[in-house]
Chain A
Amino acid sequence: EPEVTQTPSHQVTQMGQEVILRCVPISNHLYFYWYRQILGQKVEFLVSFYNNEISEKSEIFDDQFSVERPDGSNFTLKIRSTKLEDSAMYFCASSEPFTTEQYFGPGTRLTVT
């Protein structure tokens, strides 16, 4: 069964550094998403992406964040100048057009020290 994959599974970085979290969505999906979960808190929506542009973003998704689909398979989340409060589990998801079911990856645990 096809699945969403994410790399790395765990990333440790120093405050102020840039990180890129990578996702490979399911191949025939056209909608892509990033969510995050700070330890002990809710899973929060960050951004949705379709047709090479952002469809919707939350108030969390400020200028520090960017997303990109650099080729036909990868979907990346870049965090510039990381802060301690960016430490969280980041989930990528994808979905087919005209369906509400999203398929999630296993997550990347980002630790900012």
Chain B
Amino acid sequence: AQSVTQLDSHVSVSEGTPVLLRCNYSSSYSPSLFWYVQHPNKGLQLLLKYTSAATLVKGINGFEAEFKKSETSFHLTKPSAHMSDAAEYFCGSLSGTYKYIFGTGTRLKVLA
């Protein structure tokens, strides 16, 4: 069965330092993978998606993710964290035609 695992429930970084949020997937075929972000009292907003084109995917707000089939990973990175990046981040996979499967989320804290 398809599944998505987010390896860290909480990540803290200092402002200006790199961000790494880890996600591993399990799928018997080439998956469609997503990262969403949720700011307080807001809906989940799509950051980026991988759909079997380029393995390095660039998203909004300076985020990017690299699809690594050999490691079954789709980690989210950003070179320099900003205070406004503090939020909850969800890695997800498309299962079937329209159903998403999500991980448990990673809460990113950015320290001044």
Residues of A at the B interface (CB closer than 8 Å) are 3-4, 9, 31, 33, 35, 37, 40-45, 48, 55-56, 58, 91, 93, 95, 100-107
> Which residues of A have CB within 8 Å of B95?
45
23 contacts between A and B (CB under 8 A): A3-B43, A4-B43, A33-B98, A41-B104, A42-B103, A44-B102, A45-B99, A45-B100, A55-B97, A56-B96, A56-B97, A56-B99, A91-B43, A100-B32, A100-B51, A100-B94, A101-B46, A102-B98, A103-B46, A104-B36, A104-B43, A106-B41, A106-B42
Chain B residue contacts of A45, Cβ below 8 A? 95, 99-101
* List of B residues within 8 angstroms of A91 by Cβ: 43-44
B residues contacting A by CB (< 8 A) are 4, 32, 36, 38, 41-46, 49, 51, 90, 92, 94-105
Residues of B within 8 A of A106 (CB): 41-43
A44 contact set on B, CB distance < 8 A: 102
A5 to chain B: closest residue by CB: B43
Given A3-B43, A9-B41, A106-B42, A101–B49 Cβ distance below 8 Å?
A: yes
Q: Is B49 a contact of A100 with CB atoms below 8 Å?
A: yes
A33 to B98, CA, bound (A): 9
| Docked CA distance A91–B36 (Å) | 13
Which B residues touch A55, using CB under 8 A?
Answer: 97-98
B104 and A107 within 8 A (CB): no
Nearest opposing residue in chain A for B40, CB measure: A106
**When the two chains form their complex, are residues B105 and A100 in contact, meaning their CB atoms are under 8 A apart?**
no
Q: Which residues of A contact B41 (CB under 8 A)?
A: 9, 106
- Across the interface, name the chain A residue whose C-beta is closest to B32: A100
For A4, what are the chain B residues with a Cβ–Cβ distance below 8 Å?
A: 43
Q: Which residue of A lies closest to B45 (CB)?
A: A104
Chain B, Cβ-Cβ closest to A40 = B104
- Shortest distance from the beta carbon of A54 to any chain B beta carbon, whole Å: 12
Known: A35-B102, A42-B101. 11 other contacts (CB 8 A): A33-B100, A41-B104, A43-B92, A55-B98, A93-B44, A95-B98, A100-B94, A101-B46, A102-B98, A104-B36, A106-B43
